[in-house]
Amino acid sequence: MKSSNVIRQRAAVSRPRRETLNGHMSINLWFTGLSGSGKSTLAHAVEERLHLMGCRTYVFDGDNVRHGLCGDLGFSIDDRSENMRRIAEMINLFLDAGVISLTAFISPLKTDREHVQEIIGADNLIEVYCNCPLEICEARDVKGLYKKARAGEIKNYTGISSPYEIPESPDIELNTGTRPLRECVNVIIDELRERGVILR
């Protein structure tokens, strides 16, 4: 269902003006990988570094958005797709606000990641693949979810009973199973500098 009788309003304060005020461009860093691969840890570490550099940032964490914006969604394939769509539309608003957004979502399916890129625009998104072997993710099992999935208590769990389609050509691929967190953060900061998103 689509909204009718809706007209887009043009703001006097534009994205470029907001970016100029902020002192950096807006961009989205999309962290994808298995549960336990370090997506959220890395996203928050990058945000901390950017915050100390004076950048306007915000992290969208997969669990956090399901407490509100996506609280009505489950984990079926259709619900996961809708979850990604809503987040992508939210990111568009943050891009317009001149903010560097960081999104930590398993986002297991290639089609969903492609749809996100279509909504956001390829130039506005940097895909970061947190490449961590399943055995390491499962050994970490911070939330105890792998154990429940193995016991059959959780259905459609990515990596166990539901597939994760590895990104074919991510902008950044990091071995988050063994590579130190600080090094991973540095790689991302360097990429932002190289793209001219941040100038420091």
What's the angle, vertex CA 153, arms to CA 152 and CA 155, rounded to 5? 70
> How many Å apart are CA 102 and CA 176, to the nearest integer?
17
> How many Å apart are CA 21 and CA 123, to the nearest integer?
21
Assigned token pair, 84: 């990604």
What's the angle, vertex CA 77, arms to CA 1 and CA 91, rounded to 5? 65
Nearest Cα to 91, choosing from 67, 40, 48, 57?
A: 57
Assigned token pair, 152: 């059959």
> How many Å apart are CA 198 and CA 174, to the nearest integer?
21
Q: What 3-state DSSP class applies to 127?
A: strand
35, 42, 125, 178 from 183: Cα distances, Å: 21, 10, 21, 11
Active-site residue 162, yes or no? no
CB 132 within 8 A of CB 184: no
Catalytic residue of the set 26, 37, 101, 107: 107
Active-site residues: which are they? 107
